Amino acid sequence: MPKRLNKKPGRSTQLLDRISRAFSRHERLLIGLALGVILLVFASFAVVHRLVSGPQLRRWVNSDPEELLLDYEAGSSWVPGIIRLRGLTMRGSDENVQWWFRMEEVRISVSLLDLLRKRFHATSVTARGLVFRLREKEERRELSAAHLARVPKIPGFSDPPLKTVDRKPPPPPATARRQYWTVLVENLDADPAPEIWIELYRFAGHGRVSGSFSIRPHVEAWVGPAAVRFVSGSVTLGEKEPLLSSVSGLGTCVIEGYDPERVRGAHVWPRISGRIQMEGGLTDLAFVNYFLSDSKEPKLTGGAGRAQADVVFDHGIGRGQGRFETRDVIAHYSKGTLAGRAGGRFAVTRWDMEKDVSMTGGDTFNFHRRNSTTA
């Protein structure tokens, strides 16, 4: 029988075996690294979610609740950089104003790296159910019961909104940058915005708010460009006193960056520019009595009709015009009443908001008496 030949593997076969084993080790290493990265990613998901859903984020931001307070009812962030919140509220104040807002539902794209620098930087915000309130701080001697009854209440702040008399000196800017968080919001889109209440004027209905703003306590604040589209609703003086119904219009605003420790009160107006266009129905001219409070008479009631206004502000200087037409208006005097139709136009040629000085021109007012009575 022929002898069986035992062939040893050749050099090429041995080389292929070594290469195969090397690739197997390399693949196992790559698979291990990939699994490690996946686990790390999922761990980061859990960390960010825990940060948002727990109290830690609020603790970081709320180092001084009087200056800046962040809160929400529920939050989640399973995708890093995307935060979903329910019942978000934010409140703040400086030497000039107090403000507060609430968003029922909100989706925020946030820079995670900026959180490490004490900077809440929202690169985009999509919200539903925005309610915004703002009121000025006043000197006690400037307060009046009629004014206080018409400005908004802000949860967490006492009434009336007084300027601090013996306030402690503000921290140096370098210290403030380390101590306080910066809030930077870009590309805000809030629809609907059912309430916007600024000082005396309250809009209730369907509004849309868009824009950007930044707040750094004791260092800098700015707004804009920002816009409010009044889709439908009403404007009241205070909470309930009718001013305009079936409102439509647009308001835009830019507030250039300013130091709230140096620029206070009316001195902020030279940094404000914008435009307000609005029209709607008049249901009752009784609101005019507030602005005529220094005069005992006449007192107005009734007066259904229409009104519109268009005012532009350029660094605190306003110019604009408007017109109105009413019927069934009654002017009450101590010696009797006048009833009839009223209409007119007004033109503001220069309105210096900082100095509260205005110049008008081309104003007309017509009253067509229907009947009168005497006491």
Q: Would you state the structure tokens that stand for residue 258, as one six-digit string? A: 């300013």
Average of per-residue pLDDT values in the chain:
82
Choose among 88, 34, 33: nearest CA to 57. 88
How buried is 132 (Cβ within 10 angstroms: 0-12 exposed, 13-18 middle, 19+ buried)? buried
Among 21-25, 190-194, 227-231, where is mean pLDDT lowest?
21-25
The total of other beta-carbon atoms located within 10 Å of residue 137's CB is: 18
Q: Which residues does residue 229 pair with via DSSP β-bridges, in sequence order?
A: 208, 250
Q: Span 230-248, mean pLDDT?
A: 94
Residue 252 pLDDT grade (very low, low, confident, very high; cuts 50, 70, 90)? very high
What is the residue whose two structure tokens read 């404007």? 235
**What is the pLDDT averaged over residues 170-196?**
83
Q: How far apart are CA 47 and CA 65, in angstroms?
A: 25
* This prediction's pTM: 0.80
Question: What pLDDT score was predicted for residue 227?
Answer: 96
* Helical (H) or strand (E) element with 161: none
Give pLDDT tens digits for 121-153.
999 999 999 999 999 888 777 778 888 899 999
User: What residues contact residue 207 under an 8 Å CB cut-off, 6+ apart?
Assistant: 130, 192, 193, 194, 196, 228, 229, 230, 231, 233
Q: What is the pLDDT of residue 331?
A: 86
Which of 106-115, 143-152, 288-297 comes out lowest in average pLDDT?
288-297
Residue 197 neighbours by CB under 8 Å, 6+ apart: 132, 133, 134, 152, 203
- 277-289 pLDDT, tens digit per residue, is 999 999 888 888 8
Q: Which residues of 206-233 are buried (b: 16+ CB within 10 A; e: fewer)?
A: ebbbbbbebbbbbbbbbbbebebbbeeb
The amino acid occupying position 116 is: L
Q: Which residues pair with 251 in a beta bridge?
A: 228, 276
Which token pair is 106?
């909100």
CA distances from 328 to 220, 242, 365 (A): 50, 16, 16
Strands (E), the chain: 68-71, 74-79, 82-93, 97-110, 119-136, 182-198, 201-216, 220-237, 241-258, 272-282, 299-314, 317-333, 336-352, 357-360, 364-374
